[in-house]
Amino acid sequence: MPLAAYLTLAALVFAIGLFGVLTRRNAVGILLGIELMLNAVNINLVAFARFQGALAGMVFTIFTICITVAEVALGLALSIGLYIDSGWDLLLLIGLLPLFFGLALILIYVLTHEEQAQPSAIEPTVMPDDEEPKQS
């Protein structure tokens, strides 16, 4: 199957998820739409990893699936807890879940892609260890 077929499938799944998020008024429907959108991203990651022959896309997909599951569980628990305690709008809190997911992905990227130290143009002069300075 060509890459375009995977990208078309991912775009369709993402559009269905976006439609679900924009049209639903209950929390479960919005969470299902967010899950569909994140699964579309996972389809893209796996498709590009397959066609480029790199394993990094597949590994990143595993991380995003784990983070998504944790995000939904933690986000739903926090939003229900805040809704019960303070009376906040539950749909507003669930709408913030993609922000938390994006911050988690940025954190993972930063932690896994530390920049290599660039060698400086000026090399410091180093004395060999076996030579000791002479005292007069």
Mean pLDDT for 86-94 is 62
Question: Domain for residue 80, yes or no?
Answer: yes
Asked if residues 45 and 74 have their Cβ atoms less than 8 Å apart, the reply is: no
Domain limits for position 96: 3-101
Q: What is the pTM of this model?
A: 0.55
Give, in degrees to the nearest 5, the angle at Cα 111 between 108 and 112.
85
Asked if residues 97 and 69 have their Cβ atoms less than 8 Å apart, the reply is: no
Mean pLDDT for 28-43 is 84
Output the average pLDDT for the chain: 75
Contacts of 37 (CB under 8 A, 6+ apart): 13, 14, 17, 18, 21, 98
Question: Domain for residue 62, yes or no?
Answer: yes
Q: Residue 107 and residue 70: Cα distance in Å, rounded?
A: 15
Instruction: Give 44-81 pLDDT, tens digit per residue.
Output: 888 888 888 878 888 888 888 887 777 777 777 776 77
Question: Domain for residue 113, yes or no?
Answer: no
Best CA proximity match to 92, nearest among 77, 79, 101 = 79
Question: Domain for residue 127, yes or no?
Answer: no
